[in-house]
Structures are given as C-alpha cells and as structure tokens.
Copies of this chain bind each other. A is one copy, B any other.
Amino acid sequence: IALISMSPAKLLLTGYVSYMLIGWVLLSLPVAQQVPVSPLDALFIATSAVSTTGLVSVDPGGSFTLFGEIVIILLIQAGGLGYMTIGSFATLAILGKLPGMRARTTKHAFNLPEHIRPGHFVVWVVVFTLIAETIGALALWPMFAAAGEPNALWLAIFHSISAFCTAGFSLFSTSFEGYAGHAGINIVISALSILGAMGFLIVVDTWRTLTAQRRWLGFSSKVIVRMTLLFLIVGTAVLFVVEPSINALPPVERLLAAFFQTMTATTTVGFNTMPIGAMSLAALMLFFFLMIIGASPAGTGGGLKTTSFAALVGLVRSTLKGRDEIRYLKRRVPLDRLQLAASSLAFYLVLAGLAMFFLFLTEPGAAFEVVMFEVISAMGTVGLSMGITGDLSPLGKLIIIVLMTAGRVGILTFGIAIASHDESREEEQDNELVL
C-alpha cells in the first residue's frame, strides 16, 4: 500500500537499495568470503556491483569465493538490466501485462518516450542482453584459455557480463593491464561495453529501420551514435598524442591503449589496460570530461548522458549565436529536455563539490585530483580509480557508497527521491505570500 503511493523516483531508489541490502547480506556470509571482508567493505562491493560502478575497496578476485563471485555477477546483471526490467518481465510472464505503476517506473528509469510499450521493451532488453553476453563469453573463452588462465570459461562469462553491464568488475587484480597488448580481448571487451553503453534503443531502432517499420527514435539514435563516435575518436586522438605513458608504447599498442582508455571512460565500463594513477594531469582532464558526460540513456552506463550533453551544446550555441530557439543538429530541443539537462548539470556540480569538500576532511593525506577522480568516477558509475579506494576511511567509503547509488539511480532522480516535499501545501503558502 505504501509502495503504490510512492513516486516513481522513490520507488526506483528503494528498489536499488533493496538489491544492495540483499547483496550485502549474501556477501557477508562466510561461504562467500575467501579471506575475512569487513561489513563495510561487503556493503561497498554490493553497492558497487548493483550500481555497476566497479570501484572496489577489496580485490574481488582474491577476497571472495566462487559463490561470492556468482553473487557479485548476479548483482551486476540485476543492476545493469535494472531491477524494474527483471521485475516487469516476471510480472509480464505471469499476468500477461504490466501494471500501470511499474510501467511508469520503467519509463522513468529509461527515459522512454510515452508511446513505447514497456512490456515489449522488457522482452527485447532481456533477449538482447543474453545474446550479447553469450556471444561475448564464447569469444573471450578461447582467448583466456590460450593465454593459460586456469578458469577460462568462468573468467569469460564473468567479464562478458561485467563488460556488457558496463560494471568494470574484474577478477584480475590489475583489471586488464595484463592484456594491454592483446588486440582480441581489447576488441571484444570494447564491443560489449559500447553496445551496453549505447543502449537497447539503438539496437531496437536499427532493427525497426532494417525491417522497414516506423522508427521511434530516429533523432535520439542519431545523437547517440554521433556522440559516441565523436567521443571515441577525439578521446583516442588526445590520449595518443598527449599522454606520456601511452606515447612511449610501440604504434599498435599505443593506438590500442589510447582507444581502450577512452572507451572505458566514455562507456563508463571502468576496465583499464594502463595504470590510471600514473596518468598525466592533461589526460585526467580528458577522463573528467568523458566521465562527467558518460554514456547514453536507456543503456547500462552512467553519467549525465550524451543526450543531455547534446542539449547543453545546443543551448550554449544558440545563446552565443542569439537564436530564439534552442536547436541541435537542425532540430528544436524541447524546453523540458533543456530543463532536465541544465538541472542535472547544476545538481551534479553541487553534489560533486560537497562530496569533495567532505572527502578532503575525511582523507587528509589524499591529493586533490585523486579525490576528484574518485568522486567523478563514482557519480558516473565508471569505477576507474587512481588507487585510493582501498585506503579510504570508513566515512570516505560511505560517501562513495552514496555517490555510486546517486550515479546509478540518476543524479536528478536521486535528488527528486530525497527531496521529500509536500508540494500542495507549499503552493498554498506561496499564494498567500504573493497576494
């Protein structure tokens, strides 16, 4: 009864928090732990998994048993697909249709246009996810086996799911740094991450176009594909030229490393093949830019989203050129999209600033850019780190847990959910004061 009266934003947040708590309990069981993991670290890993961030306060490969690893990958899968997708699917299978409230929540979480039927959407999402992850795992398996990894099949399944859900959890203690020069693994992981980050809408849209049906999302798809390609190309070029640790590599490895590090930031997957803590400050600026914007809506990635960025680009260009309406790619950007984009950016800055302020107090020894990187990585559910995560104080870990949750639910949705407010009473009060 209380659930029915909840706003979609509160419902979403409650759902994610429920998954985190279930994960926390399961990862706290002795059967899940290879070495003792503190309750706070278990909560941190559960939150990181459900939010598909991939920041780790303890090494997952070395700290958890196979049971623990299965719990982690199921949390990632649940978080990546979205709890409402799975829930909706189960409901759909039983009842044959989606209840109204759940349908609203699904639309809210994925930013769906009004005329899409959530039932169909959920089926497509799940089928598409399973197919992509299976192909990914089958492609990774022989490569891990050939590289002499002991549990090649499990590694292939785990990393395929972790990549497609843009979670970036790795069972290797140094992520993919051991495979920095392995083109095959780089390409498969990148393909899975980009597919996950671009979102299901692109695939649906492409399929509908190919089968000559009416396209729902021509313009959104165009923006998403264009932005994704732009960021990948510009980012790779910048890192290729600017970053000394990548400069020093032979040409093919250099291109591979520049591309993979760009890909990992813009898709918010968070795997890495080069040590991030050793990057130059100019390279960090590129990472900040890519991680703040993040991935695309209706995908598994985080950040402010490429479509919000496009709306802001349209806003600034239109203002600078003195246009009356805001346009992007010759199309008028609706006012409510602009409001959402501008509010997200402003609220993002406030949240990031407050988090950094408090982290500088709780982590007195940490460098400025290292803390800033951790905050932006958590808020964008990226999971890249300059190496501070394991050394955070308990309060610091709690701050990052809140940021990962906010990043997954969506910065603005998080704000809406925690802004408990009786609107009708406020409205009345206003009228009195204005009169």
Residues of A in contact with B (beta carbons under 8 Å apart):
242, 280-282, 284-286, 288-289, 312, 315-316, 319-323, 326-327, 330, 335, 338-340, 342-343, 345-347, 349-350, 353, 356-357, 360-361, 367-369, 371-372, 412, 415-416, 419, 421, 423, 426, 430, 433-434
A316 is contacted by which of B321, B346, B372, B433 (Cβ under 8 Å)?
B346
Cα distance A327–B353 in the bound complex, in angstroms: 24
What would be 16 A-B contacts, judged by CB atoms less than 8 Å apart?
A: A282-B360, A285-B353, A285-B357, A286-B357, A312-B342, A312-B346, A315-B339, A316-B343, A319-B340, A319-B415, A321-B416, A322-B416, A323-B423, A342-B342, A342-B346, A368-B372
Given A312-B346, A315-B343, A357-B285, do A412 and B320 touch, yes or no (CB 8 Å)? yes
- Evaluate contact between B357 and A416: CB separation under 8 angstroms: no
Determine how close the nearest CB of chain B comes to the CB of A21; give it in whole angstroms.
25
Cα distance A300–B293 in the bound complex, in angstroms: 34
Determine how close the nearest CB of chain B comes to the CB of A429; give it in whole angstroms.
9
- Evaluate contact between B281 and A368: CB separation under 8 angstroms: yes
A315 is contacted by which of B288, B327, B342, B367 (Cβ under 8 Å)?
B342
Greatest chain B CB density within 10 A among A338, A340, A360 is at A360
Cα distance A421–B323 in the bound complex, in angstroms: 11
Known pairs A285-B356, A286-B357, A319-B415 / 14 extra A-B pairs, C-beta < 8 Å: A282-B360, A284-B368, A285-B353, A289-B353, A315-B339, A315-B342, A316-B346, A316-B415, A319-B412, A320-B412, A320-B419, A321-B416, A322-B423, A335-B335
Chain B residue nearest to A283 in the complex (CB):
B360
Q: Which residues of B contact A350 (CB under 8 A)?
A: 316
Cα distance A357–B286 in the bound complex, in angstroms: 8
- Evaluate contact between B357 and A316: CB separation under 8 angstroms: no
Determine how close the nearest CB of chain B comes to the CB of A36; give it in whole angstroms.
33
Greatest chain B CB density within 10 A among A316, A345, A356, A434 is at A316
Cα distance A282–B316 in the bound complex, in angstroms: 31
Determine how close the nearest CB of chain B comes to the CB of A330; give it in whole angstroms.
5
Q: Which residues of B contact A430 (CB under 8 A)?
A: 327, 330
A320 is contacted by which of B288, B342, B353, B415 (Cβ under 8 Å)?
B415
Q: Which 5 A-B pairs have the closest CB atoms?
A: A319-B343, A342-B342, A368-B369, A281-B360, A282-B360
Determine how close the nearest CB of chain B comes to the CB of A108; give it in whole angstroms.
12
Determine how close the nearest CB of chain B comes to the CB of A218; give it in whole angstroms.
14
Cα distance A356–B372 in the bound complex, in angstroms: 14
Cα distance A419–B367 in the bound complex, in angstroms: 38
- Evaluate contact between B320 and A282: CB separation under 8 angstroms: no
Chain B residue nearest to A329 in the complex (CB):
B433
- Evaluate contact between A347 and B368: CB separation under 8 angstroms: no
Given A286-B357, A330-B433, do A321 and B281 touch, yes or no (CB 8 Å)? no
Chain B residue nearest to A7 in the complex (CB):
B322
- Evaluate contact between A346 and B423: CB separation under 8 angstroms: no
Q: Which residues of B contact A342 (CB under 8 A)?
A: 312, 315, 338, 342, 345-346
Q: Which residues of B contact A347 (CB under 8 A)?
A: 316, 319-320
Determine how close the nearest CB of chain B comes to the CB of A405; give it in whole angstroms.
16
A330 is contacted by which of B343, B360, B434 (Cβ under 8 Å)?
B434
Determine how close the nearest CB of chain B comes to the CB of A427; give it in whole angstroms.
9
Cα distance A347–B426 in the bound complex, in angstroms: 34
Cα distance A356–B356 in the bound complex, in angstroms: 19
Chain B residue nearest to A415 in the complex (CB):
B320
Determine how close the nearest CB of chain B comes to the CB of A434; give it in whole angstroms.
6
Chain B residue nearest to A418 in the complex (CB):
B320
Q: Which residues of B contact A288 (CB under 8 A)?
A: 353
Determine how close the nearest CB of chain B comes to the CB of A367; give it in whole angstroms.
7
Determine how close the nearest CB of chain B comes to the CB of A327; give it in whole angstroms.
8
Chain B residue nearest to A423 in the complex (CB):
B321
- Evaluate contact between B416 and A315: CB separation under 8 angstroms: no
